[in-house]
Structure 1
Amino acid sequence: MKWQTALKDYKTYLKIERGLSENSISSYALDIYKLIQYLETNNFEVSPIKISSETIQQFIYDAAKQLNARSQSRLISGLRSFFSYLVFEDYRETNPLDLIESPKIGRKLPDTLSEEEIDNLIKAIDLSKPEGERNRAMLETLYGCGLRVSELIGLKLSDLFFAEGFIKVTGKGDKQRFVPIVNATQKYINLYVQHIRNHQTIQAGFEDTLFLNRRGKQLTRAMVFTIIKNLAKAIDLKKNVSPHTFRHSFATHLLENDADLRSIQLMLGHESITTTEIYVHLDKSHLTKVIEEFHPRK
C-alpha cells in the first residue's frame, strides 16, 4: 500500500465513518503529510504497512526540535489515529505508536474578555459603513450565543427561529444543536438583514447565507479574524483576541453568573463535559462563592 492511497482512504474514513468536518480532516491529514515528507527527504523507502516504531520515533524526535509540548502531543495523537485506522482495516497487526508516549502538558486556560472590553470592541465598529451593521451583528452573535467562527459564518437565514428564541447551529461533524438567542442579539441581526443585506446583490448559492461579504458571498474565517484583530488594535487592547475569545468569554460570564455547567455544555456543543469544565478553572471566586453558599459548615 502506498502512502497517498492510505491517506486518501483514511480521509474518507474520517468523513464518512467519524463524521468529521473538512477542517478537522485537514488537520489530521497534515500530520501524515509531515511524516511522508520526512520519509522522502531522508530517503526512507517504507510503506505505511511496514514502517517501524523506531522510524516513527526518529521522525517525532526530529520534529520535536521545532515543536512545543502541546504541538508534539497533537502530532503523536494524529499519527496514532492514522495507524489505528490501518489496524482496524487489517492492514497492520499493531500500531507503531502504542509504545510512544506523548509529552506531559498542562491544560491551557483560554483567554477571556471582560464585559467592558467586549462593549468597547463593539463600540469601536464604524457603523457609518455598510459592513458596520454586519460586523456588530456578528460580534453580538459570537458573544451572545457562544459560537465557533465556523458556526458563525455557516449560519443561514433558515436557521433563525426568533419567534421561539433559538437559532439552529451546525457544529463539528455537522452535528446540529439549538442555542438560545436573546432579544438584543436578535435586534442587531434584524437591523443588518433589513437595512444592509436586503440591498446587496447576492451570488447564486448564497441566498440563504446570513453574513455576506461585499461580493455577496459567505464570509471566510480569516475575514472574521481580521475584523476582530483590527477592532482590538483600534481600542489598544493588549490581549490576544480571536473569534474564539468571544466564545470563551460567553461561557465564563455565564459561569460567573451561576449558570450550571451542563447547560453551558449544551449551548457550546461540547460532547464531553470535561471540555466545558476548563471554565471552572478560570474563576476561582466562583468556587469560593459555591462553598460559602452550599457547604454545611460555611
Structure 2
Amino acid sequence: MPSPQPAKEGEEMSPTSEEKEMFDLLESFILEKESTLSKRTIEHYQRHLYNAIMWLGNFDIHDPHLVNTEDLRDWIRARNLSPATQHVAICALKLFFRWCIGQDNPAETIPFPKRHPTPQRTLNVAQVDQLLGHLDTSQPKGVRDLALISLLLDTGLRASEICRLELAHFDLEAQSLVVRIKGGRIGGAVFGRYTQAAMANWLAVRESYARASTVFVSVGGNKPGTSLTRNGLGAILRHLGKESGIGLVSPHDFRRSFATLSLQGGAPTRLVQLAGRWRSVKEVERYSQALTPMDFEPYSPMSRIMGVK
C-alpha cells in the first residue's frame, strides 16, 4: 500500500526521518482497519490523521506517546473544521490513538462538538495591532506577512483563495483582484490604501524570490520562491499567533474578522456580503457572531441627535 496521502487542501511534502515512525504506524493502522471500515471512512480518517501527524511534526512531536490531549485540541482548533467534519476528525483520533496506546490515550477525553457550537474565533482591533506589532518588516518574511495579513483582513479571502491568487489577476493600482472562489466560481475583491502600500512593498521584495506565478511565495524553507500552500499559510499564522501572545490563529479567523470588523466599522451587511463573496446575508450573520449589543453604541440615535460623539 502506498504511503498515506496528504489532505487535498494541504501542502505537498514528504515526511522527515523523524516523522517516519508515526507514518509507519498510520499505514499499519489503515491496513488493519480496511477490513472493518468503509472505503469512504478510511479515506476521511487517513486524511485527518495524516494532517494531524504533519501538524504535530511542526512542533517536533513524532511519537504517539509524547502527544497530549491539548496538542490534539490545538490541532482541531487550528483546522477550523465544521462540527460535522470535526466529529469525523475526533473519531479518527480516538480510534488511532486507542490502537497505538490503548484506552488511556490523549484523544480519549476529547469531547465531540456540541450541536450548537459557540462562535468561532474572531480577532478584535487590539489583537490585530498586537499581531502586526510583532512583525519585523526589515526582513523579507515580515514584509510578506504584513501584506498577507493585511490582504486577508481587507478582503476576507479563504486560505485556498489567497494561496492560489495569481499575479496576473492582481491589480495593485486599482486595488482589486480576481480569484477562483469556493464552488469554482470567479469572485472579485477590493482592498484599501494601507493594504495597497503593504502589497507594493511585498511585490518589490517578491521579485527576488518568486519561481511561481502566484502573488504569495515562500521566502525560506526547503522550497523558496514556490507558491504558498494552505498548510504553509496555516503554519505561518499559528507561529505568528503564538509568538505575538494572542494564541493560535487560523486563516479562517481572518475571514470572520473581516466580516465582524467591517460591520463594526459601519459597513452595511449587504455590502459586506458582496465584498466577502458570500451567497447570502445569512452567511454574513453566521460569520459575525462575535458582534455584541455593545457594538451598537457608536450608532446611538440620541447621541447622533444631540451631537454627542
Superposition TM-score tier, normalisation by shorter sequence: 0.5 to 0.7
Counterpart-to-counterpart distance in 1, 2:299 and 2:148:
37
Q: CA deviation at 1:237?
A: 1.6
Counterpart-to-counterpart distance in 1, 2:82 and 2:277:
27
Match of 1:277 in 2: 285
Which deviations, in whole Å up to 9, do the C-alpha atoms of 1:169-225 show, x marking residues without a partner? Answer: 32112211121111110111111111x11122x43xx2x211111321101111111
SS at match of 2:149: helix
Which of 212, 223, 232 in structure 2 is aligned with 1:223? Answer: 232
Letter of the 1:211 counterpart: F
Counterpart-to-counterpart distance in 1, 2:274 and 2:294:
20
Which deviations, in whole Å up to 9, do the C-alpha atoms of 1:1-24 show, x marking residues without a partner? Answer: xxxxxxxxxxxxxxxxxxxxx65x
Q: Does structure 1 residue 117 correspond to structure 2 residue 107? A: no
Q: How much identity, in percent, do the aligned residues show?
A: 26
* Contact 2:256/2:288 (8 A) holds in 1: no
Q: Does structure 1 residue 210 correspond to structure 2 residue 215? A: yes
Query: How do 1:116-265 residues align onto structure 2 when only pairs under 5 Å count?
Result: 116-194=126-204, 196-200=205-209, 202-203=210-211, 206=212, 208-214=213-219, 215-238=224-247, 240-265=248-273
Q: CA deviation at 1:72?
A: 7.5
Pair 41,231 (structure 1): closer, same or farther in 2 beyond 3 Å: same
Letter of the 1:234 counterpart: E
Letter of the 2:148 counterpart: M
SS at match of 2:207: helix
Letter of the 1:277 counterpart: E
Query: Could you state the TM-score of these two structures normalised by the residue count of structure 1?
Result: 0.60
Query: Could you state the TM-score of these two structures normalised by the residue count of structure 2?
Result: 0.58
SS at match of 1:41: coil
Q: CA deviation at 1:138?
A: 0.5
* Contact 2:272/2:284 (8 A) holds in 1: yes
* Contact 1:112/1:245 (8 A) holds in 2: yes
Q: CA deviation at 1:153?
A: 0.9
Letter of the 2:290 counterpart: L
Structure 1: stretches of 5+ with no match in the other structure:
1-21, 24-36, 49-67, 76-102
User: C-alpha root-mean-square deviation of aligned residues, in Å?
Assistant: 3.7
* TM superposition outliers: structure 1 runs of 4+ over 6 Å: 72-75
* Contact 1:69/1:104 (8 A) holds in 2: no
Number of aligned residue pairs: 211
Structure 2: stretches of 5+ with no match in the other structure:
1-7, 10-31, 41-80, 89-112, 303-309
Pair 280,243 (structure 1): closer, same or farther in 2 beyond 3 Å: closer
